[in-house]
Structure 1
Amino acid sequence: MDRRKRPVNAYYLFSEAHLSLKKGDVDRAIENMQRAMALDPQSAYLKRELAGFWLLKKDTASALKLLDDVLASHPDDVDALILAGRIHQNLNQPEAAIKAFSRVIALDPSQQNIYLQLGGMYMDQEQYPQAKQVYGQLVQHFPGAYAGYFFLGRISAIDGDRKAARAYFEKTLTLEPDLVESRFELGALHEADHNYQEAAAAYADILGQDPDNIQAQMALGQAYERQGLKQDARQIFTSLGTRSLSDQAVVRVLVRDYLDARKFDAADTIIQGMLTGGADNPDLNYLAGVALDGMGKKNAAIAQLKRVAPGSQFFQNAAVHAALLYQEMDKLQAAVDFLLDTIEKDPQNPEFFLYLGSFYEQMETYGKAEKALKDGLGLDPINSRLYFRLGVVYDKWGRKDDSIAAMRQVLRFDPANANALNYLGYTYADMGINLDEAEQLIRKALEQKPGDGYITDSLAWVFFKRGEYEQALPLLERAASLVPDDPIVKEHLGDVYSKLGMTEKALQSYRHSIANGHSDKAAVEKKIRLLTP
């Protein structure tokens, strides 16, 4: 038959849609599927297919609308529920996704993957009783589903029932003997029971399957260390230290399993052992510094961080970290001296000038701060962070016009920078100029940070400067609830109460401002005296 004379029906258009899809023409596929739906508007199948096409276009709104139409007339359509649940899951709408997936397994208990998705969502939401129920249903319907037993073990461990957890993990190994995740979990349970010999056996089993498993090597070394088998532990750690010189995976495992998990003592034990086999590895010196800082040993941390050479991927992080540790210890001059020495080693890094400038700012040596920040801008002329810090320095120095110019540069390179928008807007408000522009700037900052108490205070201050005290009051009360210990916000709230004749509340706010450490105590005390008979 001549193709041009073929009857145009829903099936024909459906076929054409899928042919277009195979050719990569998603728009044409959608057009043909919509024409097919026009001929068969009640077809749930066609709507589901079109929803899938919309997802290829990343148009989740159109896909969900179609699925809602399907479910309105066919509430038990399992395929539509699955697709809708996955869309809600991808959109981070857990309640809607959980509702859809729960309906799926109620209608069709054979949907094994949906149990896992639903259980996983409950786990993400830390709704462990619900997750336990779902995984229990999974293993009831699918006795060989080792993943169900694995997560039941995880939940039991979270609940503190280590005996049940061990039973579940051992069950997974009867179903899937090569599952290393269960052996790690068993090892951790044995460690929690201080049964380090059994823990070592679990980690050794993993290494029997996978001799290069870095995670298992570190855990086994720890288990040996805790048994007092220091020579065995040192042998493993030394080998890992040598390996770290050529294999970045060692560093990644250390960071993931120990430093990110805030297991600083364990990390320090491992790293110190590794340094005997990789003493010239500056990456390990950096990680040692992080671990020691986590343990509260700041001087020892600085000593390790200083050993990180410029060639290391962590050189910048190490230098900044060490400088900040000096700052935390109120040794600003040491921080400055250290950064000056660091800049000699790496003079092309603007980040070092940023921190150098901030330390000079804290020391109130604004000329040196200006020079350091401008030197950084000489290396990176569009660095908005450098311009912001320079604007703050000028403001503290009393150079308002220069501060405004610097903040405008920040917004030139980073128009949505909430801190700069607020800083410039508040500066205008405090000076009593450009109040309409100030309001626009601050409202734009609030779009970026809608719950920010300081920005809310800035907006209130615009209204205060206009004499619109009734409008300023609720904003300042909200700001004071968001940052209840800020002395400036308390002072501003007192100013508004005073203007509205609410003397007792004004006095209370001023007293709170002083109690919270207002930098100009005398000025606030003067306001109190003016209100006191």
Structure 2
Amino acid sequence: MKTNGLKLTVALILPVFGWLSLSGCVSRGLTGGKNGKAAGWVHHFSVPENGDRYYYFIRSQLMLRRGDLDRSVDLIKKAIDEDPGSAHLKTELASLYLRQRKPKEALEIVEKMLQEKPDDVASLVLYGKLKQGLKDIEGAKEAYERILDIDPEQKEIYLRLGSLYVEEGDFDNAFRVYDQLVQYFPDSYVGYFFIGKIYMERGKLRKAEKAFLRTLELEPDLEEPRFELLNIYETQGKERQVVRLYQELLEEDPDNIRASVGLGYFYYNIGKLKSADAIFKKLGAESDENPEIVRAVIQIYIEQKRYDAAVIVLEGMLKGAPDSSDLHYIAGVAFDGIKDDNMVLRHFKKVLPDSRFYQSATVHMAYLYQERKETRQGIAFLEDVVRQSPENVEFMIYLASFYEEAGEFQNAIRVLEKGIAAEPENPRLYFRIGVIYDKQGLKPDSINAMKKVIQLDAKNANALNYLGYTYADMGQNLEEAEQLIREALKYKPEDGYIIDSLGWVFFKKGEYKEALKHLKKAVKFVPDDPVILEHIGDTYRRLGDQKNALKYYKKSRANREPGDSEAIRKIEQKISE
């Protein structure tokens, strides 16, 4: 068994700190004191005779409970006006800003508090957490280091600071922090765990083993240190210790999927194939009733890109559940990871239409057929899929694209018209049929289709650009073409093809210098597109710069298919003459 990496385990052990947990200073509530008085927070500031600060604070908390954050903030500000020296009230205001997703405002308050009391630990803690939330990691680390210098018994800060160093791969500083943690808190099992992980990263397996064993002495019920020990023992070839640890885990929890899968894979690796098969078959047979099994296999193997291991595990599980669509799909993904296309297709074809993975498997197979240039096989496959799922328009779009690729435009139109009948408000269908009309030379039909797309989806940059470029290429409606293309650029400002369209509009207007400016910008985003390169050549030619025209025509021809470059070659010859 290989380690899943230090970063993953940090995420498993440490809590997730969101904005709302940053201050740690939110009021403890308004009830619980004698005679109905508020409890837990009154000691933070004195109550004057007129009670204004007290009143505003209570009202602020009531507004907070009602979900009126803006009013709560206004009231806390009034309380601060009455008692400008109250650190508690300022901290409360900072916490309210965090609830409003205004971390910068909260940070500004804390920074002012630190100017007055630079060594105040509570303020430094909040400051560090704010910096961390704002992704200012250096600022957060500096704050946490300062806190530990002032008060080395801030247990949570060790964990925060150590995790930041781990995330950066700074294991020397991470080790220093965790080592200091266990010196001040000898019962910190988390500290020993991360010390073990760092030793693992450094290849010091004996010291790592000692740290993980100490973790388990302090917290015997933890699973993660046991799996780390399994990593060590497998690396060292200690078969007995590995089997014993797995069996202990399974004795304590017979439903421990991670342990079952791990033991089965270990048996496979040491040649105990019958034992491995027995475990995998059992897991496969139970997977239909227990979706956690499939989820665990995905997390342990697929998400960690351990595709070779996944193939072994899943092929074994399929012996216990040969008709499982879920297992066939995940097996297909695993084989895709090791680039075995034939096995990908074999497994995906066994994913049934009622499976949650059916659409993903179908789309993946379509891509594979396309990549392999197996257009006829793709068409046959997708025709069958559409018959089985006549309501699924996505499959129709893929089938139409295969017919389009094969040059069977009428069949593509037939399929897309069927899709439009099923979903008359789907802009993707009109876009695809508009492209095919264009390829057939049916410009009016293509234009109408693109107009329909824009009618259904006014922000569809592709349709806006397509229609605008069509007008430009025809030399018609050039003002409208420019307007359409500029609208498209609002949604895709760095799309080289759309920028090229704008340049082409100016070319058609005879504004060649303006055209060249946009075309040169377009080629920065799409440097090898033969059409854009040809457009630049055309523009230089109109500007009388034959040298640069020839340069870009040659670039265009170099990026075209052999049978698609004859026209460019003729232009080059004419210029050279």
TM-score range, shorter chain: 0.7 to 0.9
Where does residue 327 of structure 1 map in the other structure?
Answer: 370
Where does residue 525 of structure 1 map in the other structure?
Answer: 569
Matches of 1:467 and 1:71, distance apart in 2? 64
SS at match of 1:296: coil
**After superposition, where does 1:356-371 map in structure 2 within 5 Å?**
356-371=399-414
Where does residue 58 of structure 2 map in the other structure?
Answer: 15
**After superposition, where does 1:421-432 map in structure 2 within 5 Å?**
421-432=464-475
How much has 1:227 moved relative to structure 2? 0.5
The answer on whether the counterparts of 2:127 and 2:140 sit within 8 Å (CA) in structure 1 is yes
Q: TM-score, length-normalised on structure 2?
A: 0.81
How much has 1:403 moved relative to structure 2? 3.1
Where does residue 28 of structure 1 map in the other structure?
Answer: 71
Matches of 2:432 and 2:171, distance apart in 1? 46
How much has 1:243 moved relative to structure 2? 0.8
Matches of 1:191 and 1:119, distance apart in 2? 28
Q: 1:442 to 1:312 in 2, by over 3 A?
A: same
| More divergent stretch after superposition (24-33 vs 125-134) | 125-134
Where does residue 535 of structure 2 map in the other structure?
Answer: 492
For CA contacts below 8 A with separation 6 or more, give which structure has more relative contact order.
2
How much has 1:253 moved relative to structure 2? 1.5
What letter matches 2:573 in structure 1? R
Given the alignment of the two structures, is residue 343 of structure 1 paired with residue 386 of structure 2, yes or no? yes
Given the alignment of the two structures, is residue 205 of structure 1 paired with residue 248 of structure 2, yes or no? yes
Q: CA RMSD in A?
A: 3.3
Q: 1:411 to 1:157 in 2, by over 3 A?
A: farther
* Identical amino acids, percent of aligned pairs: 45
Matches of 2:206 and 2:444, distance apart in 1? 69
What letter matches 1:521 in structure 2? S
What letter matches 1:183 in structure 2? R
How much has 1:251 moved relative to structure 2? 1.3
Q: 1:532 to 1:65 in 2, by over 3 A?
A: farther
**After superposition, where does 1:401-412 map in structure 2 within 5 Å?**
401-412=444-455
What letter matches 1:207 in structure 2? L
Given the alignment of the two structures, is residue 271 of structure 1 paired with residue 297 of structure 2, yes or no? no
Q: 1:345 to 1:201 in 2, by over 3 A?
A: same
How much has 1:413 moved relative to structure 2? 4.1
| More divergent stretch after superposition (242-251 vs 438-447) | 438-447
Q: 1:168 to 1:368 in 2, by over 3 A?
A: farther
Where does residue 390 of structure 1 map in the other structure?
Answer: 433
Deviations 1:431-474 (CA, angstroms, capped at 9, x unpaired):
44555555555455555455444344444444444445445545
| More divergent stretch after superposition (303-312 vs 482-491) | 482-491
Unmatched segments (≥5 aa) in structure 1: none
The answer on whether the counterparts of 1:196 and 1:224 sit within 8 Å (CA) in structure 2 is no
How much has 1:360 moved relative to structure 2? 0.9
**After superposition, where does 1:101-500 map in structure 2 within 5 Å?**
101-126=144-169, 128=171, 130-192=173-235, 198-435=241-478, 438-439=481-482, 441-443=484-486, 445-446=488-489, 448-473=491-516, 475-500=518-543
User: For 2:82, which of 3, 20, 39 is the aligned residue?
Assistant: 39
What letter matches 1:359 in structure 2? F
Matches of 2:348 and 2:232, distance apart in 1? 34
Matches of 2:180 and 2:498, distance apart in 1? 50
What letter matches 1:278 in structure 2? A
Paired positions, count: 529
Matches of 1:331 and 1:14, distance apart in 2? 72
| More divergent stretch after superposition (482-491 vs 437-446) | 437-446
Matches of 1:226 and 1:216, distance apart in 2? 15
How much has 1:181 moved relative to structure 2? 1.4
| More divergent stretch after superposition (452-461 vs 310-319) | 452-461
How much has 1:179 moved relative to structure 2? 1.9
